[in-house]
Structures are given as C-alpha cells and as structure tokens.
Structure 1
Amino acid sequence: MVFTFQVLILYSLPLAFVLYFLKSYISSSKSLKNLPPSPPKLPLIGNLHQLGSSPYRALQSMARTYGPVMLIRLGTVPVLVASSSDAAREILKTHDSIFANRPCLKIPSRIFYASKDIAFAQYGEYWRQAKNIAVLHLLSNKRVHSYGFVREEEVALLIEKIQKANESVVNLSELVISVTNNVLCRVALGRRYDGRQFKSLLDRTMELLGSFSVGSYIPSLGWVDRLSGLERKVQEVSKEFDEFLEGVIQEHVNKKNVDVECQDLVDILLKIQRDNLMGFPLEKDMIKAIILDLFGAGTDTTSTSLEWAIAELLQHPQAMKELQQEALIMGEGASIITEDKLEKMPYLKAVLKETLRLHAPGPLLIPHESTQDVKLLGYDIPSGTQVFINAAAIGRDPSKWEASEDFRPERFLNNPIDYKGFHFELIPFGAGRRGCPGIQFGMIINELVLANLVYKFDFVLMGEESSDMTEANGIAVHKKYPILVSALPRY
C-alpha cells in the first residue's frame, strides 16, 4: 500500500484533539487484558503517520522494538502485525479459520464488484464456491499445463523481438511485463488486446489498489477521499474496466462451437454459468470480478518477480553464470527451452525462490481479519482485528536465514523449503485457506521466460539507473527504474 498523508493530516489533526478523550476511543484500546505490545499512537490517526512511503519496511523496523507480534492502530482500526514465521504459522495454520476473513476495504470493493472476486471476498459460502471454480476449473494442474503452447509461443516471440534489436538498448522490464500480459490475455480472454491501452488500464488499477483510502480506516473522514480525487479515479477506472470486460464477455457469448481444447478462462466461466455448476447463479459481475482478479494477481506480481530475478542476476555475475550453464545443458542447442525441461533445472528454481525471499511481490500480503476473540502466542486478539503478515520481513529474518540480506540462490539447493504455503519462513503468496490459488500458473511463466532469456543472451547493463535496486512502492513492490540492457546472442 502507498500511504500519502498530507491531505489526511491537514484535515484531521484539528479534529484529533477534540476526539482524543472520547470514551469509545479509550475503552476500545483496553478491552482485553493481554494485548500485544504497541508503539505510541496519535489521536484519531493512530500510527498512520509512522508508515511513510514504505509501510512494510517501517513495520519491520518497528517490530525490532515491539516484537514479531505487534498491535498498531490505523485510524480507528486495530491492526495486528505479524513479522515472524512462528506468528504467521499461528495465523495461517493453527487459527486459519478464525483469520480467514477479509476486511471490507473501499477501493477493492469498488473495483471488484463489491468484492465478488476470490482475493478480497468475505469468508463464507460464496468465497468457497468461487475458489473451487479457480482450483478445479481455471487453475488446476491439467488446465495450467494445457496452455503450455501459449507460453512457449509468447516466449519465442519475446526472443525474436530482442534479437531484432540487434544489440541496441532494449527495455527488459517493459518486455517482461508485455510477455506476461500477452500470456494472460490469451489464456483468460482468448486473444491479445491493445498492449499500451490495456497496460495503462491495468497499471492504473494496480496503482489504486495500492493507494490509501482514508474512509477505510477513519470512516468519519471518508470525505477526504472525495476531496483528494481518489473516489473519482476509482470510479473512472472501474467504469473503464467494466466496459472492457463487458465487451469481452459479449464477444465470447457470440462465439459458436467452441472446441473444448481451445477454451479460454472466460469460456469456462460462461459454461459454469450456463450449467449452474456453483449451485447458485453465477452472475455476470461475478465473472468479471474473477477475471479481473486473475489479471491483478497474474500480471503484476508475476512480472514484478521476474524483473527482480533478472535484476539480481545482473548484480551477481557468478549466479548468472551458474544459471546460464544449467540452461545451456537443458537447451541442447534447441531454439528455446521447452516447459518439459524446467523440472530438471534446480538452480533456476533456486534463483526464483531466493528472489521471492528477498522481494516478496506483495510484502504485506492481502490483509486478513479475525472473526472471533483468539489467543495468539499468549496475546489476546479481539474479534474484528485486521492482520498484516509482513512476508518481506519474514523472508529477511536473520534468525531464520544466514546472511539474510544477501542474494544466495544456492541456499535453496537440496533444501525442502518452498513458496507454496507449507513453509512459513517463505510465504510470498500467503498460506492456508486464503493462500494464492494461482501460484503454479504464475511461476511457470517466470521459469520459462527466465530460463530462455539467460539461455539465449548475455546482457550488458546500460546506464546507472538500470543497476539501481531502489523500490517503487505499490500493492506490488516494483523496481523503481527499468532494466535497460544490450542483449548479446550467446551462440
């Protein structure tokens, strides 16, 4: 999340001291006997002012003082911050059902049709059915592998595009975003769409999802979102995406005699709607929300992880050399490395695990919310508490990882730790009931693209900013500056 407080502070501080001693504020902070440690907070805005431009890093720093289980207050909302693998295990495994809900947040609710998607939906029967659709019909192993030809075709086109640059400067960041977008458009929607226009729409959507809504945390100041223009921007993007998705669905409805083998994800959702496979009507808004969910998770986080992997390899020539050697053996002189070879590339998988450890695409994951009072590591957590799990801090925890700030892919060779939600030292995609159902879909794209880039080319960084590892904050943490390279053919 990106937190901008100038407008908030300007309008809220005069009210803060009037409201400070209100009985409801005082009593809410002392409702249970043994609450987790808390940093000092200001009236009304709580700890919002402490989060700055990089909330996950600010919370990581605060956890060093107040511990891995910490209670802060964002406006009027109590928020539990978990910064250790033990705390994450308690939340996502031991008490998974209690913390499986999502808080009602204004921006996701507006964009995802009153949170009718999978990621932000309230915990309950609708969410269970929607996730079953994703797991059984959209993102099953069989379905993911059936789109292998799409991924391989798009990777071949990516390589061709770089080759045509003839060693001139190419924007590698832009290219990896393009290839992930193209794969997802073809898999989900059946064809590519106007690259620049679609990318602009998706970028604006992800930017808004990473924005801070005052009204979500201080309801009495919800008017600030209108004054700042945030509500207008959300409405505009929602309307634009809705019109786009409406056209996509109508285009699919008008298709005739769709071959089962050629079905895209919209085709599958429309079939589920026709056959009433959910047990209740699958409304058009639900289909739109689920498709939009797949794009949000499938493009932004996938391309972000891939970009960071490339950036780290360019900073660590020995690791790049090791991966290139593995790719050369697997490629055997073929035009591209195909998906069936990826399982035999342990160093490739180690590079991507290490990238996810250091650069969790969504560092605070999606917030959880407790649905009842619960005891957590000796602390009393009240019902209705929001939960941030600092996956980025957990991935860099020096008590769990040797040389925790260093990029060392070899730490994952002959190491069972994985990112699929069973090892709480590494949870870039969450875990438990609300873990990401599309892990395999996203990671196979990353593996295929990265394997082929290092197989086909040697890269020379162009310009100082290309090697700058500064982060740009949002719902996913991107590299601030694009990777500009000259790509030299390897053979």
Structure 2
Amino acid sequence: MLSQVGYNIYLKTITVWSWWWDISNKHDELARIILTISVPTLLLAWYKWTVSYSKGSNRLPPGPYGLPIVGYLPFLGYNVHERFTEMARKYGPIFSLRLGSKLHVVVNSMDLVKVVARDMDQTFANRCPPLTALAITYGGSDIAWSNNNAQWRNKRKLLVSQVLSNANLKATQAFRTHEVLKTLSEVYAKIGTKVDVNKIAFETEANVVTSMLWGCTKSGEGEDSSYIGDGFREVEFKIMELLGASNISDFIPMLSWFDLQRRQRDMRRQLEFVDRIFDDVIEGRIEMNSSKIKGEVEEHERKDFLQILLELKDQKDAPTSLNIIEIKALLMDIVVAATDTTSTMVEWVMAEILHNPDVMRKVEDELTNVIGIKNIVEESHLSELTYLDAVIKETFRLHPPLPLLIQRCPDESCGLAGYTIPKGTIVYMNVWAIQRDPQNWTNPLEFKPERFLNLKWEYNGNNFKFLPFGLGRRICPGIPLGEKMLVYILASLMHSFKWSLPKDEDFDLSDEFGFVTKKRIPLIAIPSQRLCDASLYMG
C-alpha cells in the first residue's frame, strides 16, 4: 500500500515537474519498479531527516515546505534564477529549501555574499559537484569542481602563471590576431546574408584557446594542428545543457546507481568525443617530443601549456605532480569554459546593442574616432574603447553567464546571518538578483552603459554589487583572457561591419536558464560592409 501511494505521488509530481524532471515512456516501467522498491525507504529517510532538524537546536534559514521525498523540486519551474529571486522577496535575503534529500541555501544580498565568499571564504570554498560534472571532469580532477586543498591550489596557480599571465597573453597575441582576422574574412564572404553570431564567436575563441594550449610550440601564428574538429560546438552545447539540467540522482543519491534520466550516460558520451581529441593531441605531442634530439631547442621556441603539463608529469618530485587524467581535466576546464562563456557573452552584448539604437550609434562613433574606418581593430586599441567596455559590463550586469555562480559547500557547520548552515549544505549566490536589485542600482532593468563610465569597475569581485565572475578564492581564473577576447571580437565585428536584424524573424531578449544562461532565441544578424577598403577584410 505504501509503495502504491508513493508511486501515485510520483505520477502526480512528474506532471508538474517541468524543467526538473523528464522521463521517456521506454523508461517508465523501469522507474515504476525502482520507485516501488525505494519509496518506503525514501519516506523513512525523509521522516528521520525532518525529525532530526525539528528536534535539534539548529535554526535553519526560513523557506518553503516541500513534498515528502522530492521536497520543493516540483515547484521551481524552468528559470530557477528568477524563481529564487521571487522567493527572496518572500523569505528574505537568505532562505533554505530541501531539494530531494539535500538542503540548499540561497544567498541573495551583496552583504551576505561578502560574508560567504570573503569573510568565510575558507569555510565555503568546497564544492558539491553534480554527477554530470564529475563525469565530464574525469571524476572531479579539474579546477572548477575539485575541493579546496593543496592540489587544487597548485593546479590553479599553474594555470594562472602559465596560461593567463600577462606575459603569456602578450606572447600569444599573434594567435588572437590571426583568428580574428580570419573571422572577419569569413564574415565578409557572408555580407547580406544571415549570420549566427554565437557560432562565429565560438569558432574564433575555440581556435585561439586551442592554439594557446597545444597548437604550436613556436611564436608564430596558429596552425591547423590546433583545430578541434567538426562537431565540437554541438558537443560543448550538450555538455553545458547536461551540467545545468536537473538530475534526480543528485537530489536523491540512493537512486544514482539507476541513472533514471540517463544524465550520466549522456555526459559520458560527450566525454568520449572530447577525450578522443585530447588523446590524439597528447599522443602526437609525446611522439614529437621523443623524436627530438635531447636538449635540442630552438632559440625562438616557446612552450605551450600542454608541453609544460607533460614535463610536470615526468617530474615526480615537482610541487605539482600531474597524471594524464589530471592533464586532460585541466584542458577540459579551459577549452569548455573559455569558448562557451565568451561566445555566449558576444551574443548577449550584440543583442543589447542591436536592441538599443542609441547605444549602437555611440559604439560605432567611438570605434570610428579611436580606430578610423581605414583601419582594422588591433589589441592596442582596446584600452581606449571606454564606452564599449561600459556596454559589455552593463550586459554582464543584466545577463551574468552563471546567474547563481557555481555552488559552494561548507566543510563544517557554521553560522550565517543568525542561522545555522549545516556541513554539506549546497549554497548558491544569486548574483542575478544582486545585479538587478533596486537597492544597488537605479532603474535596474534599464540598459544604461553610462552607469559604468564614472567609476572604476572591474571583474575582480571587490565591488559586491557587480560579481559576474564571482569573488574570493573560487573566482573565475580565466578573467584576463576572457575579457581580452570578448572586447577584441566585439570591437572587430562592430567596427568592420554594420549589423541589422532580419525583418522576417522575431527578436527578444529572454533567456534560458542553465549552467550558463543563454539567449532563448539565438541571435541571427545580417552584416554589411562598414570599412572603406574591401582589402582590409582579406587579413
């Protein structure tokens, strides 16, 4: 009887589960069997969980009640960042909710974010990775999802010093110039036709990043050996979709073995695709190294990141000792994070520019004044494009790529705002709400780049009203490269072409929640020649 009641609850729940649950007919019978067996156990576990907190002295943050077993999962809906913001208006700047068997806490004010990620950064520096994240990062062997420990700190330091340092960014300028010029030539060939903005930005960024990572050991321009192949963009989109999709196995761990929604299986398939690329690149580099005469290094030769990682692998007594799995996990972090976030933000910025004619006119006027229509954009121009920089920051304010950042997890029970946060709680920081809060911003829903012109705004997390990349020790390490490429691609596209929207297609600025929040409808635009000399588009 109890199992049938539980299954009835399950059937009613999935009809309203929306974003949080999908199950195909072919798996329904399997789900029936599993739930019939597990529901009594789950009900008992839920009862013990609720009783233990009600009898204890722990004072959890306020929050909504949920259903047995599944908690508040059925009521969240699709756009979770918006739902959390609505709940903050009811429950306050910090609230808790149970999703499955796990407690989640959402922080929605800049004052409390400061406490979590600055004052108590050490306590809240761990992660609680979803199963799909563990699958795509070789069991959490990367930087983004691993816990705060000595190995993580050494890996992060290695990434920052060898890939993202000012010296290395300067040394790899030729890669960026080469790829951006190639993109301009390709877009010029499509003048008057519809162009997928995200696609051209993705391919440009992907070629730059792979060139920096493993494309060339010389200081010349990028080579075809860095190309990651057809189909990678689709695979990466699927990776990001799976990272952001709900997985019942994350919320009710005892069901994880069954993988009811096939999330882990699907993510492992994406890993197989990317892993083949990494294996080919690594094996090719090892073979190339072994064919060299020992000690033979040309004066102008520059080690790329893969070469540095492989040398560390062979140095067993090095401070950062890496194996092949850890090397591939680091490559995964950089390739996926850099390409997806940059291409997404190029699309958002251009969408806002096209949606605001006055902003477009000011951007174009600045580009003309700084660069001139007889020249193409060079990296030396970027620091002078103050209005474009303000447009980009205003876009990050309204459309942060990770609206809830990456969740944190305290390594011990602690107090926050007068409440108890138990060890292992999953903590979200709702920067989407903070960056749209009328207490922090005047007319927060208005797109107004001028608000970023008068003060010195950076992405370093020191201004708690503006945190698109997070703050504290878990702040995104890729900011220097991401910012440079974002401005360079946008300036080049906006200066070289005049863009317009197709008249036969709807345009809106609605988003679609995910691990990285994207435009619900991709931006399709039509370029026309803006520079006076067609030869400038030939690279």
Give me the TM-score of the superposition, normalised by structure 2.
Answer: 0.86
Output aligned runs, 1:289-368, within 5 Å.
289-368=329-408
- Alignment match, 1:196: 230
Distance 2:524 2:130 in 1: 37
Partner of 1:58: 83
Corresponding residue for 2:248?
214
Q: Is the 8 A contact 1:7 1:224 kept in 2?
A: no
Instruction: Give the alignment partner of residue 43 of structure 1, picking from 56, 59, 68.
Output: 68
Cα distance, 1:62 vs. partner? Answer: 0.8
Contact 2:127/2:147 (8 A) holds in 1: yes
The 8 Å contact of residues 50 and 58 in structure 1, kept in 2 or not, is answered as no
Work out the CA distance in 1 between the residues paired with 2:426 and 2:414: 13
Residues 219-272 of structure 1: per-residue CA shift (max 9 Å, x gap)? 1222552x3322321222222222221111111212246767543321222233
Equivalent residue of 2:105, what SS? strand
1:205 equivalenced with 2:230 (yes/no): no
Pairwise CA distance, 1:389: 0.8
Change (3 A) 1:196 1:29: farther
Measured in 2, the distance between the counterparts of 1:482 and 1:211 equals 19
Which residue number corresponds to residue 430 of structure 1?
Answer: 470
Letter in 2 for 1:15: V
AA of the residue aligned to 2:132:
I
| Aligned counterparts of 2:57 and 2:486: Cα–Cα separation in 1 | 46
The TM-score with structure 1 as length reference comes to 0.94
- Aligned: 1:142 with 2:190: no
Post-superposition offset of 1:124: 0.9
Gaps of 5+ in 2: 1-17, 216-224, 290-295, 533-539
- What amino acid maps onto 1:253 in structure 2? I
Question: Among 453, 456, 460, which residue is 1:416 paired with?
Answer: 456
SS at match of 2:336: helix
- The answer to whether structure 1 residue 250 and structure 2 residue 250 are counterparts is no
The answer to whether residue 246 in structure 2 is matched with residue 228 in structure 1 is no
Q: Name which one, 1 or 2, has greater alpha-carbon Rg.
A: 2
Instruction: Specify whether residues 29 and 109 from structure 1 end up closer, same or farther in structure 2 by C-alpha distance, changes over 3 A only.
Output: farther
Letter in 2 for 1:156: L
Instruction: Give the Å deviation of 1:464.
Output: 5.3
What root-mean-square deviation, in Å, do the aligned CA atoms of Structure 1 and Structure 2 show? 2.3
Q: 2:71 corresponds to which letter in structure 1?
A: G
Question: 2:273 aligned to 218, 227, 240, which one?
Answer: 240
Match of 1:27 among 43, 49, 52: 52
Letter in 1 for 2:371: G
Q: Distance in 1 between matches of 2:134 and 2:256?
A: 15
Aligned mates of 1:430, 1:342 — CA distance in 2: 24
Q: Deviations over 1:456-484 (max 9, x none)?
A: 11111014546222223321111122222
CA contact under 8 A between 1:421 and 1:427: conserved in structure 2?
Answer: yes
Deviation for aligned residue 1:166 = 3.0
Distance 2:136 2:493 in 1: 35
The AA in structure 2 aligned to 1:353 is K
Structure 2: distance between partners of 1:189 and 1:209:
26
Cα distance in structure 1, aligned partners of 2:69 and 2:303: 52
| Identical positions, percent | 33
- The equivalent position to 2:437 in structure 1, one of 383, 397, 406, is 397
Count of matched residue pairs: 489
- SS at 2:20's partner residue? coil
Which of 502, 507, 525 does residue 467 from structure 1 map onto?
Answer: 507
The answer to whether the 8 A contact 2:132-2:263 is kept is no
1:282 aligns with 2:322: yes
AA aligned opposite 1:49: P
Shift of 1:309: 0.3
Rounded Cα–Cα distance in structure 2 between residues aligned with 1:265 and 1:343: 27
Secondary structure of the corresponding residue to residue 192 of structure 2: coil
Moved more, 111-120 or 209-218: 209-218
Q: Is the 8 A contact 1:375 1:381 kept in 2?
A: yes
Is 2:21–2:247's contact at 8 Å kept on the other side of the alignment?
A: no
Q: Distance in 1 between matches of 2:297 and 2:92?
A: 56
Judge conservation of contact 1:138–1:268 (CA < 8 Å) in 2: no
Residues 264-299 of structure 1: per-residue CA shift (max 9 Å, x gap): 321222233234574253100000000000112101
Matching residue of 1:388: 428
Q: CA deviation at 1:203?
A: 2.0
Which residue matches 1:458? Answer: 498
Deviation at 1:332, TM superposition (A): 2.9
Shift in Å, 1:444: 0.6
| 2:425 is the alignment partner of 1:376 | no
Decide which moves more: 76-85 or 176-185: 176-185
> Can you give the 5+ residue segments of structure 1 that lack an aligned partner in the other structure?
none
1:4 alignment counterpart: 20
Change (3 A) 1:53 1:21: closer
